[in-house]
Amino acid sequence: MDETTVTTTEPTVTEPAQPSVSDSGTTTQATPSFDELLNSNKEYQSEFDRRVSQAIGTAQQKWEQSRLDELDEAKKLEKMTQAQRDSYLLQKDREKLEKDKAAFAAEQMKTACGKELLKRGLDPSFAEYLTAGTAEQTNERLNRFEEAFRAAVDSATNDKMRGGKPPKEPETEKADPFMQGFKG
């Protein structure tokens, strides 16, 4: 395997945040920069370094796996005749095209679902959850969702309008001697 070199650049260190004076004459401290925050606490710096190292390691593994897959495919193509190679590449292109068409159709279905939600007076962000494989399935989900949503809103509205328990009789009458004189 070829050795690869990775070059890194040192992060630039910004000047420390200077206090600023507002129009009213009070001094406020600016929010510390990212570099200041890392330099102020070594635990933050070590956690940041750990996460960056982990991300770099993951990316490098994916890159190496991708490179190995490309090499394996190149070896496989070398062993094929020209007709086999052409057929294989055509099949790969068809699979990629079908995958792209399916993704495009799913995105169109999601957009159409969002438009229908807007027409019905509902939030279009629910389209992500209501979109199905076909228009009929999506429409069925929309109808069920709308019924459930409207029922929940009606129930909550009725509960709010119904109010709570009726107010209790004030207990102060029993203890108020003045009021006791009127009762008897």
The rounded distance, in Å, linking the Cα atoms of 91 and 126 is 37
Q: Is 131 exposed, middle or buried (0-12, 13-18, 19+ CB in 10 A)?
A: buried
Look at residue 49 in the predicted model and tell me its pLDDT.
Answer: 93
Q: Are 27 and 21 in contact (CB under 8 A)?
A: yes
φ, ψ for residue 128, nearest 5 deg: -60, -35
Provide the 3-class DSSP secondary structure of residue 20: strand
Look at residue 13 in the predicted model and tell me its pLDDT.
Answer: 47
The rounded distance, in Å, linking the Cα atoms of 81 and 79 is 7
The rounded distance, in Å, linking the Cα atoms of 35 and 14 is 7
Longest CA pairwise span in the chain (Å): 116
| Amino acid occupying residue 25 | G
What is the pTM for the complete model shown? 0.48
Look at residue 64 in the predicted model and tell me its pLDDT.
Answer: 95
The rounded distance, in Å, linking the Cα atoms of 141 and 117 is 11
Give the pairing type, strands 20-21 and 27-28.
antiparallel
Full pLDDT tens readout for the chain, 184 residues: 444 554 555 544 444 445 555 555 555 667 888 888 888 888 989 999 999 999 999 999 999 999 999 999 888 888 888 898 899 899 999 999 999 999 999 999 999 999 999 999 999 999 999 999 899 999 999 999 999 999 999 998 988 888 777 667 666 555 667 767 776 5
